Amino acid sequence: MVKVYKPGKVAIVLQGRQAGKKVVVIKQLDEGSKERPFPHAIVAGIERYPRKVTRRMGQKKLAHRSKVKPFIKVINYSHLFPTRYALELEALKGSVTSESFKEPSQREDAKKVVKKLFEDRYTSGKNKWFFQPLRF
């Protein structure tokens, strides 16, 4: 079988609270694990997208509107929809592991790292399509 979900691949969540949100695959487990005996992926996504900014806005307002609220999650492959896009974030791979889900404090730390990486990527102007919500 062809591996669809490689690290860095962008997918869309189909089920659950984050349905319709874009995520980046950090680690894929095709065979599953002992706790989760189904194929799944560790993903980081955007829960709240940055808001629209215009040229006439001040620096303070621009900084406030450029904030991103991330989430990290373990999602079953059947609840993910792969896209043709990929996001190259090397620092993401080391920041979120399967151990980060065991303790709430570790989960919060991992979310803070992801938030920083996403906001840096957004302000640099790369991958604009990733930071815009899906429109139906």
Which residue would you say has higher pLDDT here, 44 or 97?
44
| Closest-CA residue to 77 (of 34, 41, 108, 110) | 41
Tell me the pLDDT band of 2, cut-offs 50, 70 and 90. low
| Mean of all residue pLDDT scores within the chain | 88
| pLDDT cut 70: percent of the chain above it | 99
pLDDT tens across 69-91, in order? 999 999 999 999 999 999 887 77
H, E, C per residue of 86-122: ECCCHHHHHHCCHHHHCCHHHHHHHHHHHHHHHHHHH
Per-residue pLDDT, 1: 55
Q: Looking at the predicted structure, is the pLDDT value of residue 129 above 70?
A: yes
Check if the beta carbon of residue 118 is closer than 8 Å to that of residue 24. Answer: no
Q: Looking at the predicted structure, is the pLDDT value of residue 44 above 60?
A: yes
- Which domains are assigned to the chain? 9-131 (2.30.30.770)
CA distance 13 to 75: 8
- Strands 9-13 and 40-48 turn out to be unpaired
Query: What pTM, to 2 d.p., does this model score?
Result: 0.86
CA distance 128 to 122: 7
